[in-house]
Structure 1
Amino acid sequence: MKTLFGRLARLGLIATATLTATAALADPVKIRIGWATMPGHMIPVLYSNPSILKHYGKSYVVEPILFRGSTPQITAMAAGEIDMGAFSATSLALAATNAGLDVKVVADIIQDGVDGHHSDAFLVKADSPIKTVEDLKGKRIATNAIGSASDTGMRVMLLNKGMVDKRDFTSIEVAFPNIPAMIEEDKVDMGPVLQPMYGKLVKSGKYRKLFSVSDAVGPSELVFLAARADFLAKNKQAVQDFFEDHVTAIRWFMDPKNKQAGSEIIGKFMKQPPENFAYMFTKEDYFRDPYMVPNVKNIQTMVDASVKAGALPAAFQVAPKYADLTFIEEAKKRVQANEGKTQ
């Protein structure tokens, strides 16, 4: 009898283990994504309308994780704390060369100064004696994170005028939301201010734009989604489903008929009135590829600018080793098929 009970117990343990393993296999893959600014990056709100997403909660779920800028996400990715991140060109190069990560450009997030669209701007007080870039010599400049996209634009602009950090000016790292107050309180003389605050401050007449990122480097792929190659390889189907939903979601927000609903979602997250985001997806906003396909050529442009600015010690080639557009291209095909369009 004891032998029979023993066999049954073992069978029970085996059955439990099998069920547990099956349940684990059925669990959706958690995709941890770094982001730094809203509403520019959009990552925290893209999955807030499950009714339009085919795969969310089934094959994957998303955990958005906030960072000060793109460069701090390198450390997090190296530590296995995020699977994808909102990277600048400099961040990509540093992740590959300094951190030794096999990281791939996988999707667009925002592009700067493309086709007449908004470019990140650096503001000074309207009554500031700083009238030209040359006047920044000896001044204090806010930057959200060393090596970020806006930081690179600032350094290239000043380098073009013969100025470098520590010798000719002082850069101070400040989180984006705190930069306007730092300028107002004369704690810094200039800093990058993002939409929607940028539009408000300029319209108030108390601030003026000194220059923009596009003035320094031309049109650029400002921020893009980058992912660890091992995560992509391990979770191919879930990642493909994610990108199909990712493109579907951004296109939902881009659709003029969803303007009010989209603004309300963004406003709720930002704890601001929806009307503050009327500029979204217009020329006053960044350019976003309609199917989130990144402009790898313009990423290379920013890498080269970073080398010139001294943010990168040596040349770095993005494609083909550090770009994988297979997921986003397939997502584009799927979404176009769903929309009844032809490529």
Structure 2
Amino acid sequence: MTSKYSLIALAFAASLMALPAQAQTKVTGGVAAYNEALLPVYTAKEKGYYTAEGIALEFVDFKGGGPAVQALAGGSIDVCFCAADHVIRLRARRQPAVILVGLDTYHSYALVAKADNPAKSLADLKGKRIGITAPGSLTDNTIRYSIKELGLNPDRDFELSGAGGGAAMKAAIDSDRVAAGLAILTDVANMMKTPGAYKIVLDYRTLPYPSFAALALESFVKGNPKAAKGFARATVKAMDELSKDPELAKAMIQKMYPNFSPELAAEVAKSSVARAPKGGIVTKESIDNLNKIVLATDDSLKPVTLEQAFDASVLK
């Protein structure tokens, strides 16, 4: 005989089954450059942390930060996984953007050339073609800043050419379409695994800089506070888990880069976790360097404060 309590339990279970699934807010994320700094984002998606926050995250790939930010400004994406340089430029266009979560503590590029290239410094490449990912991108801003620091003119003394990222940049270097190109740190690690093939002409990878972050327009944050906070919370949760579990980090990098050897996957995983800002927090030092580099390339822009660039309240 079925007891009264069993009937109550069955009725309760049936009522739970009848409840509608949690509504999911679609968030479209534009990826300006595919690199190891995306590790916490892919981990949070893989482990269902975004889903648990009511977010359905979808990715769209772009060839560099310039086109990705155009999509952000135009409203076709909600979040841009790109350099924080664009916070300054979007504010100048009266479309203020903020960093929801920092994804990398340091600059993420190095200027790479074939090993037989005689250049030992950027100055040695005067008159040559240098590969950037896209006009208006972090790579464009950075190399222009460095050229001006040498007292040279980036438009007159060099030819800056948009070559894309990843395999496209490597192909441009290999085919001599560019004398040197700015490669992102994951690609640098992979390229340097080939003995005697490449060399680093100028390395930016230890410079404190918000080189990769999740950006959103202030209008999106104000219009979707629950989604903005949920996105940040899920990403930071993944960051924390990755820092405590090296094997998880290695396994996720192997999924992101299935062609990597186990040794390279372990190396990249360790680098990614070490470079990720604790709690997704962006520092004043990195914003100071951001202002220095971006404003050196365009004196019509105005510097941003840490409070303007990074909405810390989203992480609370």
Q: TM-score per shorter chain, which class?
A: 0.7 to 0.9
Distance in 2, Cα, partners of 1:30 & 1:312: 38
Q: Which is further off, 195-204 or 297-306?
A: 195-204
Give the secondary-structure state (helix, strand or coil) at the position aligned to 2:29.
Answer: strand
Is the contact between residue 106 and residue 275 of structure 2 (CA under 8 Å) also seen in structure 1? yes
Q: Mapping of 1:1-343 within 5 angstroms?
A: 27-35=23-31, 36-42=33-39, 45-50=42-47, 53=49, 56-57=51-52, 59-98=54-93, 100-112=94-106, 120-177=109-166, 178-203=168-193, 204-213=195-204, 218-255=207-244, 257-259=245-247, 261-273=248-260, 275=262, 276-283=264-271, 287-308=275-296, 310-311=297-298, 313-328=300-315, 330=316
1:23 deviates by 7.1
Q: Which is further off, 200-209 or 167-176?
A: 200-209
Would you tell me which structure has more helix in proportion to its own residues? 2
Deviation sequence 1:258-299 (CA, Å, 0-9, x none):
42x433333233332452321135358761112111124412
1:325 deviates by 0.8
Is the contact between residue 143 and residue 192 of structure 1 (CA under 8 Å) also seen in structure 2? yes
* Superposition CA RMSD, Å: 2.6
Distance in 2, Cα, partners of 1:37 & 1:90: 17
1:196 deviates by 3.4
Deviation sequence 1:47-92 (CA, Å, 0-9, x none):
34336x3x62552221122122222222111221111212424311
Is the contact between residue 65 and residue 82 of structure 2 (CA under 8 Å) also seen in structure 1? yes
Distance in 2, Cα, partners of 1:227 & 1:152: 20
Q: Which is further off, 280-289 or 313-322?
A: 280-289
1:146 deviates by 2.3
Distance in 1, Cα, partners of 2:273 & 2:162: 24
User: Identity over the aligned pairs, expressed in percent?
Assistant: 20
Larger radius of gyration: 1
Give the secondary-structure state (helix, strand or coil) at the position aligned to 1:96.
Answer: helix
How high is the TM-score relative to the length of structure 2? 0.83
1:45 deviates by 1.5
Amino acid at match of 1:66: D
Distance in 2, Cα, partners of 1:58 & 1:220: 29
Deviation sequence 1:103-152 (CA, Å, 0-9, x none):
11221011226xxxxx5211112111212221111100000122322332
Distance in 2, Cα, partners of 1:50 & 1:176: 28
Residue correspondences, number:
294
Give the secondary-structure state (helix, strand or coil) at the position aligned to 2:135.
Answer: coil
Amino acid at match of 1:156: Y
Distance in 2, Cα, partners of 1:150 & 1:66: 17
Which runs of 4 or more aligned residues in structure 1 lie more than 4 Å from their structure 2 counterparts after TM superposition? 283-286
Distance in 1, Cα, partners of 2:117 & 2:284: 38
5+ residue gaps, structure 2, are: 1-18
Distance in 2, Cα, partners of 1:143 & 1:273: 24
How high is the TM-score relative to the length of structure 1? 0.77
Distance in 2, Cα, partners of 1:44 & 1:105: 14
Compared CA separation, residues 156 and 286, structure 1 to 2 (3 A): farther
Deviation sequence 1:151-207 (CA, Å, 0-9, x none):
322222211112222200101111112112211111100011233331343341121
5+ residue gaps, structure 1, are: 1-21, 114-118, 331-343
1:37 deviates by 1.6
Distance in 2, Cα, partners of 1:251 & 1:86: 19
Distance in 1, Cα, partners of 2:308 & 2:185: 34
